[in-house]
Amino acid sequence: MTSLLPTGKQINLQLGWPSPSLFPSAELNAGANSVLTDFNTASASLIYGPNRGYVPLRKELARWLGSQYHNDPQAIDEGRVCIAGGASQNLANTLLRFTDPTYTRCIWMVEPTYFLACPVFEDCGFIGKLRGVPEDNEGIDLDFLRAALVEAEADFAKNGGPGTPGLKTPANGYEKIFKHVIYVVPTFSNPSGKTMSLQHRYDLVRLAIEYDALIISDDVYDFLSWPEDKGVILNGARLSLPPRLVDINRKVDPDSKWGNAMSNGSFSKIVAPGTRVSWAEGTPAFATFLANTGSTSSGGNPAHLASTLIEKMLSSGALEAHIQNKLIPCYSARYYAMVDAIREYLEPLGVLITTGKPYSTIVLAAGGFFLLITLPKGLPPTPVLAKISVEQHELKFAYGKMFEVKGDSGSKRRSELGFGSTIRLCWAFHEENIIVEGIKRMRDILIECKEKV
């Protein structure tokens, strides 16, 4: 992974990584000193961890999530939370526990999609079963998804699909296997940066309940938000967070044992990815079964030692201070620098920043790590532009074709007709002056390519 880091004069606006200069090394070191200098706490942190995760972290995390999403530290019971070794590992474990490739019909992915999720699904047996769902201005085209679900059910029945799971049965210890999986990044989506509307969130949950689908919601950017307009002063107030799909699921179907939505959260974007600490939230039954994946039952919780350090950050208030006083001021400044540079150097060339319908009209919010721009006509295909950019201008960016849902011919066709002409830009890694220089290089590339055409 370190080979992805920019070298020399290269500017990498593709790299969706947090900036190492922002890692809370001192806070983690303080936690390590507290944990590892006492025999009892050191022993507890260095032994095999409980499957559901370090208990003090689960308790502290539940309180923190309750405060963040509900303004009530008691709103989320710790029984709904389990700790995992990163959002990507958590995604794989969720598939291992709650899907069966002989029975689960399809994996539905909002497109343009987070392309690195595709191999996770394929590793878990779903090669050829990934399907794209177009993203509309409110985050997901629900009419398309409903029609596709109806068609998938009809095809499954027509082709003699089994009425019950063929491998993962209750007799084998698998009480719940879902017919479908819906993968979304509903808040500050990767790659588009869009935030799903409240109505679409409710309608998506109801659709998942109707079709026995599990929504896996990557909620990894929720805590990184700021006003879209840099002239808006909040005077210490914070932007309210949209309700997660897992919260809506609990509200509309409170008696469900397994639920139809899981929140996949992570400390990678708000602490550091090397800690490999994440969490899942669902019903108590869901969280318990997920935590008892075979590899975890054998080796203990994979994030145990790092969990003890992050618990110290949470309980001391250091994490909240880090987010509010360091991450948000820094990332918002980089975001504003990127947007201003795009408006100055790229918009005159016909480039558009792709945005959806604002989640709230009270204070327009920006956040996450990414924004998407749409290129004008009359340019080479984006893969060609990307090659020219790297080889001749030392600028790297992610482009539309990368965001196709792998193996889905419909997604490929929609890419060719639409989102294939987009470019994803990340403001998180580089400082403002480097970001602006990257946008200037992109301007030069577009001008050169237009002249050649």
Specify burial of residue 219 (Cβ count, 10 A radius: 0-12, 13-18, 19+).
buried
Structure tokens at 374: 């749409």
Q: How many CA atoms, within 13 angstroms, populate the side-chain half-sphere of residue 329?
A: 7
Structure tokens at 236: 């210490």
Axis-axis angle for helices 304-316, 55-70 (nearest 10): 50
Q: Give residue 234's identity as a one-letter amino acid code.
A: L
Could you tell me which residues come within 8 angstroms of residue 379 by beta carbon, excluding any fewer than 6 positions away? 385, 421, 446, 449, 450, 453
For residues 370 and 113, is the Cβ–Cβ distance under 8 A? no
Look-up of token digits 């500050």: 188
Q: What whole-number distance in Å separates Cα of residue 6 and Cα of residue 413?
A: 32
pLDDT by residue for the chain (453 residues), tens only, comes to 555 666 668 999 999 999 999 999 999 999 999 999 999 999 999 999 999 999 999 999 999 999 999 999 999 999 999 999 999 999 999 999 999 999 999 999 999 999 999 999 999 999 999 999 999 999 999 999 999 999 999 999 999 888 899 889 999 999 999 999 999 999 999 999 999 999 999 999 999 999 999 999 999 999 999 999 888 877 666 788 999 999 999 999 999 999 999 999 999 999 999 999 999 999 999 999 999 999 999 999 999 999 999 999 999 999 999 999 999 999 999 999 999 999 999 999 999 998 888 887 778 899 999 999 999 999 999 999 999 999 999 999 999 999 999 999 999 999 999 999 999 999 999 999 999 999 999 999 999 988 776
Helix segments in 217-324, DSSP class H: 245-252, 284-291, 294-299, 304-316, 318-322
Q: Of 28, 327, 17, nearest to 190 (Cα)?
A: 17
Q: What is the pLDDT of residue 236?
A: 67
At residue 229's C-alpha, the angle toward residues 223 and 233, to 5°, is: 75
Structure tokens at 255: 């008696």
Which region, left, alpha or beta, applies to residue 237 given φ > 0 means left and ψ of -120 to 50 means alpha?
beta
How far from each other are the two terminal CA atoms of the chain, in whole angstroms? 36
Three-state DSSP state, 53: coil
Q: What whole-number distance in Å separates Cα of residue 260 and Cα of residue 42?
A: 38
For residues 262 and 178, is the Cβ–Cβ distance under 8 A? no
Residue 243 neighbours by CB distance under 10 Å: 17
For residues 269 and 429, is the Cβ–Cβ distance under 8 A? no
For residues 338 and 366, is the Cβ–Cβ distance under 8 A? no
Set out the domains of the chain in order of their start, with CATH numbers: 2-23+320-452 (3.90.1150.10), 29-317 (3.40.640.10)
Strand bridging mode 261-266 / 11-12:
unpaired
Element (H, E) at 143: helix 142-158
Give, as one character, the DSSP assignment of residue 243: P
For residues 216 and 91, is the Cβ–Cβ distance under 8 A? yes
Axis-axis angle for helices 304-316, 39-46 (nearest 10): 130
Q: What whole-number distance in Å separates Cα of residue 283 and Cα of residue 65?
A: 15
For residues 429 and 22, is the Cβ–Cβ distance under 8 A? no
Q: Please give the sequence-ordered ranges of beta strands (E in DSSP) within 303-400, or none if there are none.
A: 352-354, 365-367, 370-374, 395-396, 398-399
Q: What whole-number distance in Å separates Cα of residue 196 and Cα of residue 139?
A: 4
* Reported pTM: 0.95
Q: What is the pLDDT of residue 281?
A: 98
Q: What is the pLDDT of residue 111?
A: 98
What is the dihedral angle through the alpha carbons of 111, 117, 123, 127, rounded to the nearest 10 degrees? Answer: 10
Give, as one character, the DSSP assignment of residue 405: P
Distance of CA 4 to the CA centre of its chain: 20
Total count of residues recorded for the chain? 453
Element (H, E) at 87: helix 87-98
